[in-house]
């Protein structure tokens, strides 16, 4: 368990007509600023500020850059470090990532994309059309037993250490198609948890082929997009998918499964990936 991601608060607890003072562990939320540097052009550009749970910041940033198409491999990064600020409080809340000279990148264009990302103004159909132009199509020939899929939420839950103490943390797991757990990442933001997971796999220089992403919450289009970009063929979630997530999964050849419980689930796309 990451000690820096939790903080103890004194609270008043009320239950069954009684109240008492007690301590409660709360998930820490802090900003992380990511700054890009292109060593070949001597350019520095603040990219984004994201609210996250401290910990695995390098993996979070790497996964975000990969999901956004800024890097295509971990080898595109020359080095990554925290800002050497004299302000101790903020020293671990700012990352500087230097891209190698041969990486082709338009920093001004990237900054504009990030600024407009939260309010793109596109309807779902237009957005899907744009996304599917750049997303790879999966090819998955294996059959995953449905009994394995039904067990995945419990496997994820057993590894959610921060959630056990706070109840306010999302998690993503990456498992192989035979059920072996590769990693679990937690964060206050579901997108951050997924980026941490992707960044972890990239730093290990391991493939996403024949893997399954297991999500603790719902599946929005961003989560489906990240899975498609990474080449993850199956998404399993405890919650519901959105319509655009289903459309993206269908277009990208992803098997999308939601509302997974111990005895039931819903398969929304590519059911032939699952052996029933």
pTM for this entry: 0.84
The model's pLDDT over 186-229, given as tens digits with 9 standing for 90+, comes to: 998 899 999 999 999 999 999 999 999 999 988 998 899 999 99
If you average pLDDT over residues 94-120, what whole number do you get?
72
**Residue 57 pLDDT grade (very low, low, confident, very high; cuts 50, 70, 90):** very high
Q: Please list the active-site residues.
A: 120
Which has more pLDDT, 160 or 107?
160
The reported pLDDT for the residue numbered 126 is 45
The answer on pLDDT for 173 being more than 60 is: yes
**Residue 4 pLDDT grade (very low, low, confident, very high; cuts 50, 70, 90):** low
Domain ranges in the chain?
144-275
The reported pLDDT for the residue numbered 149 is 96
DSSP the chain: --GGGEEEEEEEEEETTEEEEEEEEEE--EEEEEEEEETTTTEEEEEEEEEE-SS-HHHHHHHHHHHTTS-SSGGGEEEEEE---S-TTTGGGEEEEEEPTT----HHHHHHHHHHGGG----HHHHHHHHHHHSPPP-----EEHHHHHHHHHHHHHT-HHHHHHS--EEEEEEETT--EEEEEEESSHHHHHHHHHHHHHHTT---TTEEEEESS-B-HHHHHHHHHHT--EEEESSPBPHHHHHHHHHHT-EEEES--SS--EE-S-GGGEE-
Superfamily, domain 144-275: Cytidine Deaminase, domain 2 (3.40.140.10)
The reported pLDDT for the residue numbered 184 is 95
């Amino acid at each position: 368990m990451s000690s820096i991601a939790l903080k103890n608060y004194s609270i008043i607890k009320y239950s069954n007509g009684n109240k008492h003072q007690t301590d409660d562990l709360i998930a820490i939320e802090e900003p992380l600023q990511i700054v890009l540097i292109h060593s070949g052009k001597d350019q520095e550009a603040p990219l984004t500020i994201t609210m996250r749970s401290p910990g695995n910041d390098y993996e979070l940033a790497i996964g975000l850059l990969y999901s956004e198409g800024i890097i295509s491999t971990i080898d595109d990064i020359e080095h990554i470090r925290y800002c050497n600020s004299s302000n101790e409080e903020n020293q671990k809340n700012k990352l500087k990532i230097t891209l190698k000279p041969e990486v082709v990148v338009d920093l001004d264009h990237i900054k504009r994309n990030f600024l407009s990302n939260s309010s793109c103004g596109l309807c779902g159909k237009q957005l899907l059309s744009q996304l599917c132009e750049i997303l790879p199509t999966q090819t998955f020939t294996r059959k995953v037993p449905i009994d394995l899929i039904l067990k995945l939420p419990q496997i994820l839950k057993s590894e959610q250490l921060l959630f056990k103490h706070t109840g306010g943390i999302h998690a993503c797991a990456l498992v192989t198609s035979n059920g072996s757990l590769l990693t679990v990442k937690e964060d206050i933001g579901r997108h951050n948890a997924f980026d941490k997971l992707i960044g972890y796999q990239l730093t290990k220089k391991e493939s996403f082929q024949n893997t399954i992403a297991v999500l603790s919450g719902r599946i929005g289009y961003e989560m489906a997009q990240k899975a498609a970009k990474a080449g993850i063929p199956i998404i399993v979630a405890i919650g519901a998918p959105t319509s655009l997530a289903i459309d993206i999964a269908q277009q990208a050849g992803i098997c999308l499964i939601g509302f997974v419980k111990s005895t039931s689930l819903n398969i929304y796309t590519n059911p032939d990936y699952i052996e029933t």
